[in-house]
Amino acid sequence: MGTRWVLAALVAIAWGIAAAQPPAIFQEGVRNAAGRIPPSLPGGAIARGARFTIEGVRFAGLPGQVRIRVAGAEARVLRVEPRTVEALMPADAPLGEAAFTVSRGGETSRPFSLRVVSAAFGIYSRNGRGWGPGQIGQVDASGRRRPNSPEAAARPGQTIVLRGTGLGGMRPRILVGGQPAPVAWVKPAAGEAGIEEVAVRLPERAAEGCWVPVAALAGGYASNTVTVAIRRGGGPCIPPADWPQPLAPGRKTAGLLFLARAFLHAEFTPGVPSAAINDEGAAVFLEAEPGEDLLLPIHLAPPSGTCTAYTGLYESAGGFTSTLLGMLLENVRGRGLDAGASIALNGARAARTLPAARRTQGFYGALLGSETPGGRARPLFLDPGSYQATAPGGPGVGPFRVSLNMPRPFSWTNEDRLETIDRARGFTVEWQGLAPTAPLGILAVNVDPRTTAMAACFCVAAPGSRGFHVPPAMLANLPAAAPPAGLPLSMLFVGSLGSAQPMQARGLDQGAAETLVIRGREARFR
Q: What is the spatial distance between Cα 232 and Cα 209, in angstroms, rounded to a whole number?
A: 10
Question: pLDDT band at residue 17, thresholds of 50, 70 and 90?
Answer: very low
CA separation (Å) from 189 to 37, 132, 133, 158? 22, 22, 19, 21
Range in 62-66, 138-142, 159-163, 492-496 with the lowest mean pLDDT = 62-66
User: Residue 259: is it exposed, middle or buried by C-beta count within 10 angstroms (0-12/13-18/19+)?
Assistant: buried
Calculate ∠ Cα 463-464-469, nearest 5°: 75
Q: How far apart are CA 139 and CA 233, in angstroms?
A: 14
Q: pLDDT for 82-137, tens place per residue?
A: 999 999 999 999 999 999 899 988 899 999 999 999 999 999 999 999 999 999 99
pLDDT of residue 465: 93
CA-CA-CA-CA dihedral for 408, 410, 416, 420, to nearest 10: -110
According to the model, what pLDDT value does residue 269 have? 54
Using alpha carbons only, what angle is made at residue 426 by residues 421 and 430, rounded to the nearest 5 degrees? Answer: 85
> What amino acid is encoded at 69 in this protein?
R
Nearest to 157 by CA among 237, 230, 213, 209: 230
Query: 126-230 has which fold?
Result: Immunoglobulin-like (2.60.40)
Least confident window among 121-125, 139-143, 154-158: 139-143
CA distance 1 to 4: 5
Residues 6+ apart with CB under 8 A from 411: 431, 432, 433
Q: Does residue 203 contact residue 155 with C-beta atoms inside 8 Å?
A: no
From-to residues of CATH 2.60.40.10 in the chain: 2-117, 126-230
Asked if 362 and 339 count as a contact pair (C-beta separation under 8 A), the reply is yes
pLDDT at 137: 97
Position 438 pLDDT exceeds 60:
yes
Q: What number is the average pLDDT over the span 13-17?
A: 40
The region that residue 253 occupies, defined by phi over 0 for left and psi between -120 and 50 for alpha, beta otherwise, is: beta
pLDDT for res 321: 40
Average predicted confidence (pLDDT) for the chain = 88
Give me the DSSP letters along 69-115: EETTEEEEEEEE-SSEEEEE--TTPPSEEEEEEEEETTEEPPPEEEE
DSSP element (H, E) containing 6 = helix 2-20
Q: What is the pTM of this model?
A: 0.90
- Is residue 186 a contact partner of residue 200, using CB atoms and an 8 Å limit? no
Question: pLDDT tens-digit profile of 53-88?
Answer: 999 999 877 667 889 999 889 999 999 999 999 999
* Structure confidence at residue 186 (pLDDT): 98
Least confident of 57-61, 304-308, 414-418: 57-61
CB 126 within 8 A of CB 93: no
In angstroms, the CA 389 to CA 403 distance is 6
- Supply φ then ψ for residue 242, to 5 degrees: 55, 45
> Could you give the CA distance from residue 163 to residue 124 in angstroms, rounded to a whole number?
6
Residue 385: what are its φ and ψ, rounded to 5°? 145, -165
Arithmetic mean of pLDDT, 26-33: 95
Give the pLDDT mean for 297-321.
78
Pairwise CA distance, residues 514 & 295, whole Å: 17
**How high is the pLDDT of residue 332?**
64
Alpha helices (H) in 149-249, listed in sequence order? none
* pLDDT score of 3: 53
CA distance 63 to 210: 40
Residue 505 or 491, more confident: 505
Instruction: Give the E-state strand segments of 221-305 in sequence order.
Output: 221-222, 226-230, 253-269, 272-287
Rounded distance between C-alpha atoms, residue 34 and residue 458, angstroms: 21
Q: What percent of the chain has pLDDT over 90?
A: 71
Distance set, CA 412 to CA 38, 157, 495 (Å): 32, 37, 10
Please give the CATH superfamily to which domain 2-117 belongs. Answer: Immunoglobulins (2.60.40.10)
Confidence category of residue 5, pLDDT binned at 50, 70, 90: low
